[in-house]
Amino acid sequence: MITPAATRVLLTGASGGIGQAMATALLARGYAVLGVSRRLQPAPASSDANMPRQSGLAWITADLTSTAGVAAVSHAAAEWGANVLVHAAGEPAFGTLADTTPEHMEQVLRCNLWAPMALTRALLPHLGRVPQARVVLVGSALGRIGLPGFALYGASKAGLHGFAEALRRELADTPIRVQILAPRSTRTGFNSSAVEAYNRATGSAMDSPQHVAQALLALLDSADAERFMGWPERLAVRLNGLVGPLLDSAFRKHSRHLQPSTAAPVPAPIATPTSARSPS
């Protein structure tokens, strides 16, 4: 268990629905929070939003999908004295693979997987020197349950779960602890109207961002390696790990409520070279 009064939390995605709820809950518990956002936010606890040094709430604006953004945030976090890193930033992705562009694939994977890995790597030397250091990654139940319509998003979160598990074992003999929080669908602007309709049609439950924020506090209070939210999602995660292919038919209704808006591109035929005519 960490002590809030002695803890300074670097929170990515702090301007999002879940991120805002997490920042509010952390501050109410007595944690100091340095929020990271792509957009400029007020920094009531600091006169300089890009180099906050006071307790309370402060902000730094940066694009964590760029190497420059990762470098800027890691430097500011170390200067500020962060000892807990919470990766809550994320990029949504919903729809069939046929409707997914390569550009969107790269954007989602870079935000949801590359950025947390890169920022964690950049901060490891600093975290190894501070007390009660932790890395908390916000994954998703979809990182362990392959749901139709979330192939891209689920892949990015599955990678994050694999990263958390391997890093936890890699750092087992160090003071740094690695945890992962896996919410289910949450009622925020992160979800498009298509996702909302899909959830209603398939009977998928949704939690409030405040509920997810309280789960974060509970995770920080514990020594748990991971925490999955929701029922039957927790059961599905366990079953999927044991008998994954046998559950395929359970998600047929999800597939029926997911229709591609365009046909999958048909590969162009491979041209066959014309045989050279032998001289007569």
Contacts 24+ apart (CB under 8 A), 127-132: 127/83, 127/85, 127/176, 128/174, 128/175, 128/176, 130/81, 130/82, 130/83, 131/6, 131/83, 131/175, 132/2, 132/3, 132/6, 132/7, 132/83, 132/84, 132/175
pLDDT tens per residue, range 121-172: 999 999 999 999 999 999 998 888 888 889 999 999 999 999 999 999 999 9
Report how many domains make up the chain: 1
Return the minimum-mean-pLDDT range out of 43-52, 91-100, 122-131, 201-210: 43-52
Q: Identify whether 137 is part of a domain.
A: yes
What are the phi and psi torsion angles at 265 (to 5°)? -60, 140
Domain presence at residue 234:
yes
Task: Tell me what the pLDDT averaged over the chain comes to.
Answer: 82
Residue recorded with tokens 């004295």? 81
**Any domain includes 74:** yes
Q: E strands within 124-256?
A: 134-138, 177-182, 226-228
For the cut 70, the answer to whether the pLDDT of residue 274 exceeds it is no
Q: Which domain holds residue 59?
A: 4-256
132 vs 10: CA distance, rounded Å? 14
* Tokens found for residue 222: 């514990």
Give 6-56 pLDDT, tens digit per residue. 999 999 999 989 999 999 999 999 999 999 998 765 444 433 444 334 448
Residue 222 domain-assigned? Answer: yes
Determine, yes or no, domain membership for 23.
Answer: yes
Binning pLDDT at 50, 70 and 90, where does residue 197 land? confident
pTM for the predicted model, two decimal places: 0.80
User: Does any domain span residue 186?
Assistant: yes
CATH number, domain with residue 79 = 3.40.50.720
Residue at 273 is within a domain: no
Residue 261 lies in a domain: no
